[in-house]
């Protein structure tokens, strides 16, 4: 017969369903009441942990408004109130509001080890992920190899558009942007800042290059700005603000 992880118990059923049953499986006796706010949190928590424990322990629920004698027997003065029964004996008590960490610590005190949570399988990196990481890592010696990996991403691939945005800025990533003038000087300065690890400074300077001459070299500064915002999208607040400023410059 499958035993329920959580069950209600009365004074009459207590000797068999708790005392005797605890000789086989540890049982937490949860004294609760309908008007007890912390009980409404603890009850579902105990139920979840008992269910996830794969039979390591069970929970017996005692309604203190109905089972006055049983509550008095254990001198319950405040609730929630939890008594741990192991091998037919009460071995530990805990009272008051309990979060998951405290419940697990209590279980550990009475020798109950919960199964480890299953680890999420790592999500395989896509070609775009790998290339982006290498660009962010400034692997400039492998710049041609990285470009080839991006060019190999096919149009049907969901990452094709992102790869194209990086490739459109490749001339800026590769080295000295061509030409002269203020926009060119700013674009070169931006690349130096980026190589030195100053992503925000690089993006700000590229925006200044766009402002100086939007059309320079088929809008290379704009394309480089878009590529850097994609690469460093984890800097959410800064990138969102910069994207709005770039839109103002363009439109």
- Residue 124: predicted pLDDT: 67
- Tokens, residue 213: 């001459």
Q: Across the beta sheet with 58-63, what order do the strands follow?
A: 6-8, 58-63, 27-32, 81-86, 89-95
The DSSP output letter for 43 is: H
Among residues 27, 36, 59, 229, the one annotated as catalytic is: 36
Q: Is 95 helix (H, G, I), strand (E, B) or coil?
A: strand
Among residues 21, 28, 29, 39, the one annotated as catalytic is: 39
* CA nearest to 210, candidates 240, 180, 248, 249: 249
Is residue 1 predicted with pLDDT exceeding 60?
A: no
- If pLDDT is split at 50, 70 and 90, which confidence band does 177 have? confident
- If pLDDT is split at 50, 70 and 90, which confidence band does 251 have? low
Is residue 83 predicted with pLDDT exceeding 60?
A: yes
**Cβ proximity of 49 and 106 under 8 Å:** no
Residue 203 and residue 168: Cα distance in Å, rounded? 16
Instruction: Give 87-105 pLDDT, tens digit per residue.
Output: 999 999 998 888 888 999 9
**Cβ proximity of 177 and 187 under 8 Å:** yes
- Tokens, residue 198: 């100053």
Element spanning 83, H or E: strand 81-86
Instruction: Give 196-209 pLDDT, tens digit per residue.
Output: 999 999 999 999 99
Residue spans of the domains in the chain: they are 6-109, 127-250
> Which is higher by pLDDT, 113 or 29?
29
Average pLDDT estimate for 206-216? 92
- Residue 97: predicted pLDDT: 83
Active site residue 39: yes
- Tokens, residue 233: 């999208």
Average pLDDT estimate for 10-33? 94
Per-residue b or e along 77-86, where b marks 16 or more CB atoms closer than 10 Å to that residue's CB: eebbbbbbbb
Domain 6-109: give its CATH architecture: 3-Layer(aba) Sandwich (3.40)
- Residue 122: predicted pLDDT: 62
- Residue 162: predicted pLDDT: 93
Average pLDDT score over the chain: 89
- Residue 114: predicted pLDDT: 82
* CA nearest to 135, candidates 155, 161, 165, 160: 165
Query: What's the pTM value of the predicted model, to 2 decimals?
Result: 0.51
Active site residue 9: no
- If pLDDT is split at 50, 70 and 90, which confidence band does 40 have? confident
- Tokens, residue 122: 């790592």
- If pLDDT is split at 50, 70 and 90, which confidence band does 211 have? very high
- Residue 119: predicted pLDDT: 63
Question: For a pLDDT cut of 70, what percent of the chain falls above it?
Answer: 95
**Cβ proximity of 25 and 57 under 8 Å:** yes
Element spanning 29, H or E: strand 27-32
């Amino acid at each position: 017969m499958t035993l329920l992880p959580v069950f209600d118990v009365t004074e009459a059923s207590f000797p068999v369903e708790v005392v005797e049953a605890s000789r086989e499986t540890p049982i937490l006796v949860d004294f609760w009441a309908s008007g007890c706010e912390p009980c409404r949190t603890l009850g579902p928590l105990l139920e979840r942990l008992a269910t996830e424990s794969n039979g390591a322990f069970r929970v017996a629920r005692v309604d203190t408004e109905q089972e006055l004698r049983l509550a008095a027997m254990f001198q319950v003065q405040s609730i929630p109130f939890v008594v741990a029964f192991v091998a037919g004996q009460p071995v530990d008590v805990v009272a008051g509001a309990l979060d998951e960490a405290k419940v697990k610590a209590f279980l550990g005190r009475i020798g109950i080890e919960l199964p480890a949570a299953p680890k999420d399988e790592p999500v395989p990196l896509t070609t775009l992920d790998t290339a982006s990481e290498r660009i962010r890592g400034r692997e400039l010696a492998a710049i041609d190899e990285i470009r080839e990996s991006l060019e190999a991403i096919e149009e049907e691939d969901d990452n094709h558009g992102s790869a194209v945005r990086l490739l459109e800025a490749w001339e800026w990533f590769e080295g000295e942007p061509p030409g002269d003038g203020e926009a060119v000087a700013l674009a070169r300065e931006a690349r130096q800042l980026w190589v030195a690890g100053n992503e925000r400074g690089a993006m700000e300077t590229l925006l200044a290059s766009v402002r100086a001459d939007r059309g320079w070299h088929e809008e290379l500064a704009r394309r480089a700005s878009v590529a850097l915002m994609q690469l460093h999208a984890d800097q959410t607040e800064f990138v969102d603000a910069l994207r709005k400023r770039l839109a103002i410059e363009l439109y």
